[in-house]
Amino acid sequence: MWFNSFGFWLFFALVVLVYSRLRLAGQNRWLLAASYFFYGCFDWRFLSLIFFCTALNFHAGLKIAAAEEERQRKFWVGWSIVISLFVLGVFKYLGFFTHELSALLQSFGWLETPWVLHLMLPAGISFFTFHALSYTIDVYRRDTPVSRSFVEFALFISFFPQLVAGPINRSTLLLPQMGKARPPCDEKRFREGLYAVITGLFLKVVVADNMAWLAGHIFSADPQNLGGLEVLLGVYAFAFQIYGDFAGYSAIACGTACWLGFDLMVNFKRPYFAISPQDFWQRWHISLSTWLRDYLYIPLGGNRGGSFLTYRNLMLTMLLGGLWHGAAWTFVVWGGIHGLWLAVHRAIGGTAKRSSKTASGWVIFLKWLVTFHLVCLTWLVFRAETFSQAWALFLRLGTDWHWTAFAQTSLSLIGFFILPWLLFEAWLERRKDDLSLLHVSWYWRAALYVYLVLMMLFFPPPVPAEFIYFRF
């Protein structure tokens, strides 16, 4: 059930209709049932998996809270982490590592027939696993009180707006909202939710899906048949496809949750206006980057053990962050490149705040230009099916820069679909306020909404594409 489908909005209308007529306990039970139905629409067989993850971590939280000795507390938090990651590993990575092991054994002549193991990937397993882990770790750290209501905790794990593609909301933010009366959808909440939903749908339907076929053409073609300009435009197309797709989903999730009285974590803050790698990760998939920082980077030692250990911690965090995205070496290398980039940037003394406060306008522009294109080059590795394809496409960037009909079409479509949105984001960036549009005269807001809706109606994609992050 996709957010950009009529089926979802019929489902959501029914949820709101019943929800508005219930009290808190009834609202929670109704939302939990609706969330399980929503997840079951992807594959009902995996409802048992999300229920198991929920029961496991709910039980672990109670045990951690009841334990009197530190040894017992460590046992129960370790128990929940190991089992949760084991389940994640079986469904997401077992087939990948089995394939790699069989290939290694074949190379030594120890295996004649490769092992083949295909497991269906449950939608959103990485997201709800990280939701659950953050809770048990927070209970162990005493950052959040233990939940004694299974319904409230189950709703925290399975809340349908953020269930299959985030944001990864912390127990400290979202879980307390499950146990108290939510504010009604007044004028302020309706305006904020409408803004998030309309902009999110535009990012998905107009930006992401119209860029998907451009990117797909480049990454499915023989690199030897492509010119450097075509490859570059294809990489641009994928950069805005993945941004529009994921930022659009996150915005719709925040908007629908806002209408229901919940506040979710903001997941994107104009990442393609970043001027350094650190700045980029403070703007892109913020819920994951802060999760990795708080539950992996800092426990590893953060920047407290000297330069070498800091760089090691950065690399390990980003390598595992890359692996979180999928069972492929290209994702690991993508994370490794970002880790190396962060380490180099740190080594030369660069920080996002210093860069923005002390540099001149031309220097900031140059840093933005370099950062944007380095991010796009890492997207090339992320999108490629294999290293050989990524390397072949990278080499084509340095050759055969001639104007072709496809390059002309690609540039025209990128300008038509993306440039107006970038101008709007540049205005938001200048004002440093994500909700600036809500503070201007209503007719300016209405004009933008009319433009966004008309674009969705008259310029739909040739072929709708699923949300990319459903795969993760």
SS3 118: coil
Q: How many CB atoms lie within 10 A of CB 188?
A: 11
Nearest to 324 by CA among 113, 159, 75, 124: 124
Nearest to 177 by CA among 162, 195, 191: 162
d(CA 90, CA 96): 10
Among residues 285, 325, 338, 345, the one annotated as catalytic is 325
Residue entry with tokens 């797909």: 216
Catalytic residue check, 325: yes
d(CA 309, CA 152): 40
**What is the greatest pairwise CA distance in the chain?**
72
Nearest to 241 by CA among 200, 212, 283, 219: 212
d(CA 73, CA 438): 47
Q: And the tokens for 167?
A: 């944001």
Query: Please, are residues 461 and 212 in contact by the beta-carbon 8 Å criterion?
Result: yes
Query: Please, are residues 125 and 90 in contact by the beta-carbon 8 Å criterion?
Result: no
d(CA 210, CA 459): 9
All residues at 6 or more sequence positions from 322 whose CB lies less than 8 Å from its CB, including other chains: 331, 332, 333, 334, 335, 336, 338
Query: Please, are residues 336 and 318 in contact by the beta-carbon 8 Å criterion?
Result: yes
SS3 44: helix
Number of residues that this document lists for the chain: 472
H and E: helices and strands count for the chain = 20, 0
d(CA 342, CA 37): 41
Query: Please, are residues 152 and 135 in contact by the beta-carbon 8 Å criterion?
Result: no
460 phi and psi angles, rounded to 5 deg: -70, 160
Query: Please, are residues 196 and 155 in contact by the beta-carbon 8 Å criterion?
Result: no
Active site residues: 325
